[in-house]
Every structure is written in structure tokens, then in C-alpha cells.
Amino acid sequence: MKTLKNHTLIYDNECPMCALYSKGFTKCGMLDEDGREAFTEISVRNKNLVDFNRAKNEIALVDHDHNTVIYGLDSLLTIIGSSFPLLEKIARIQPLYWFFKKLYSFVSYNRKQIIPSAKDNTDQSCVPDFNLKYRLGYITFVVLFSAYILNLYSAKMGLNFTSSFLRELTVCLGQILWQTFFLKAYLKEKIWDYLGNMMTVSLIGTLLLIPALFTNFNLIFYLVYFAIVVLTMFLEHLRRCKILKLNYFPTISWILFRMTALAIIILLTI
């Protein structure tokens, strides 16, 4: 493993994903032991070189030999390329480079909705700019993925439920419209942050349902398992609302929609 010498990665120390992979670079020797620096503890030397606002959106890599800075995907490819030159060359081939750059931005601009932090409200926090395109992309991804998995799981639950991707898609979209309608006036500028966090709650629930798809138990098991997943989502929704400094109103509205949607589905299947 070849170490990239005299470089410092400025990582978001309030983002578990960023902290994990940046620590991995130093642990495996791809960067010096002191080759990473927390964004909130950035030294004066590095702060004078780094575009502070851009570094909130794209992780910065400082080259101390040339006093230059690169950002985002290029930072990661430079570190990886030092140890694995072939991987970097492949990743820089179009259209792979375009795809990885979009994927990086997709994750980076939504990372605070994927894993929020209670310390994101200060001027020094490494919070990315709001990007409507990537937020809508994240919401769309979760809606389609959740509708697909729920479509598969509904057949396991019995109760005359039949697989219907359109039904599950309608429920997922209905949740967004319901919450937006009832909460927009209350949430104001926080509406997009809330919707992003709400979709992550849905994504967590969806991921928890996947293991059950590969089992073959009785109806009671799938009903109880589904109830446990919903309870987990409820608690996670409460936790995220607390981080966003919101009261119980969004969670109450969220539960009311879930109960209303379930009641309508049951009525339609009787």
C-alpha cells in the first residue's frame, strides 16, 4: 500500500460515513496517520488554502507540496490512485467518471438527511448546500425502491392483499403530499430537510423488510414482523424530529397518514 504523503483530507467529522472512510484511509496506510483533519477543527494553514463553502459540499484534499486543493470525487480518486493506479485510471474513463461524480454528489448533498447530526446548526458545521435536483433524486429513489419492496412484502401478509406496485407507489407518494400539505406552514424552510429525513425513515423500514422476503413462515410472523418494523420507523422518526428541533406534530401527522392509508387498503380488499 503506497501512502499519499504530504496531503491532508478535510473530512466532515459530524458525518459518520465521512469519518469512517477517512479513518480507513489512514488506518490502511493510504494517507499519513495525520493525513486527515476535521472540518470543524481545520488549521489556519489549511483554511487559507481551502474554499470553505465548497468543502462543505465536496471533501477537500490539500496538497502541501504544491499548496493546491482538489475536491470531491477527485480527492478520493487521488488517494485511491496512489495505492491502486489502475483503479483510478478505470474510474476516470467516461462515462464511468460521470456516473461516479453524480453518485458522489447524490450522497454528499443528501448525507445530512441520510445520517443527521444534532451539531449541524452552527456556522462552523460542515452542512452541504441545499440542492433541489439531488434532493428530488433521493426522494424519487426511495419512493420507487420502497414501493417495489412493499409490493413484494404485501403478498406475504395475506389478508387478501395482492401484489400491487401501483398501490404501494400511491401510498409512498401520498405520504409525501400529505406531510407537505399539513406541515409546510409549520416547517417553513425546514420542509426539504424534513422530507429527506422522512424518506430515510422509509428507506430504513424498507431495508428491514428485505430479509423477511427470503423466509417462508406463517401469516402471524409476517404481521408481527411488519409491526416491529413500523415501530422501529416510528421511533426513528421521533429521533430525527428531535434532531431537527421539531415537536411531535410531524410524527402525529405521519402516523395518521399511515393509519388512514392502511384503513383504506383494508376496506378496498374486503
- Give CA–CA dist 138/14, Å, rounded: 21
Residue 52 neighbours by CB under 8 Å, 6+ apart: none
Pure H helices in 2-68: 16-27, 44-47, 52-57
Residue 99 neighbours by CB under 8 Å, 6+ apart: none
The residue ranges of every structural domain in the chain are: 7-114, 132-268
Taking each helix axis from N to C end, the angle separating 249-269 and 219-243, rounded to the nearest 10 degrees, works out to 160
pLDDT score at 159: 60
ω into residue 95 within 30 of 0, thus cis?
Answer: yes
- Give CA–CA dist 270/263, Å, rounded: 11
- Give CA–CA dist 171/143, Å, rounded: 9
pLDDT score at 11: 94
- Give CA–CA dist 217/214, Å, rounded: 10
The whole-model pTM stands at 0.92
Q: Per-residue pLDDT tens, the chain, 270 aa: give them.
A: 788 999 999 999 888 889 999 999 999 999 998 899 999 899 999 999 999 899 999 999 999 999 999 999 999 999 999 999 999 999 999 999 999 999 999 999 999 999 988 776 666 788 999 999 999 999 999 999 999 999 999 888 766 666 789 999 999 999 999 999 999 999 998 999 999 999 999 999 999 999 999 998 988 999 999 999 999 999 999 999 999 999 999 999 999 999 998 888 778 776
In sequence order, the β-bridge partners of residue 60 are 10, 71
What's at 67, amino acid-wise?
N
